[in-house]
């Protein structure tokens, strides 16, 4: 890349000032090319640094978003545990009600039997 700067400068300036001292002229050209090349390198460096800063900001934003999303899930286990406890409690209530229904059915059968026995005695 620096060589391109030097070749372009020498080609251009040789057409403009062909009668000057060639050694001094070439050295000045080389210095100008080096400075131009350095300027381009510094510009590229600034652009890369700007891109790197933008990338870091994007990564920071992504991390904040991910942390925010995970913080919402921290409450999920508590809610899920509470729901599981409620479901388990509901099943226990259902079992208890079934047992009560079975007990009531047995009592109704017993009462029917007693009622039938009383009716048979009275006849």
- Predicted pLDDT at 44: 82
The pTM is what? 0.39
Asked if 33 and 6 touch (Cβ cutoff 8 Å), the reply is yes
Residue 75, pLDDT > 90, answer no
Residue 7, pLDDT > 90, answer no
| Residues whose CB falls within 8 Å of the CB of residue 36, separated by 6 or more in sequence, listed in order | 5
1-10, 71-80, 112-121: range with lowest mean pLDDT: 1-10
- Predicted pLDDT at 50: 86
Helix residue ranges, H only, the chain: 2-16, 22-122
Residue 42, pLDDT > 90, answer no
In which domain, by residue range, is 38 found? 2-122
Model confidence band, residue 25 (pLDDT cutoffs 50, 70, 90):
low
Q: How many domains does the chain have?
A: 1
- In Å, how far are 9, 42, 100 from 2, measured between CA atoms? 11, 13, 96
For the stretch 80-108, pLDDT in tens is 888 888 999 999 999 999 999 999 999 99
């Amino acid at each position: 890349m620096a060589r391109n700067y030097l070749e372009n400068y020498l080609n251009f300036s040789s057409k403009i000032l062909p009668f000057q001292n060639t050694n001094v002229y070439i050295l000045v050209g080389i210095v100008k090319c080096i400075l131009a090349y350095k300027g381009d390198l510094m510009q590229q460096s600034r652009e890369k640094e700007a891109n790197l800063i933008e990338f870091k900001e994007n990564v920071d934003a992504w991390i904040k978003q991910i942390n925010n999303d995970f913080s919402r899930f921290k409450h999920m286990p508590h809610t899920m545990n509470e729901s599981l406890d409620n479901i388990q409690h509901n099943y226990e209530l259902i079992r208890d009600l079934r047992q009560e229904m079975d007990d009531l059915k047995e009592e109704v059968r017993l009462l029917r039997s007693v009622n039938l026995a009383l009716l048979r005695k009275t006849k």
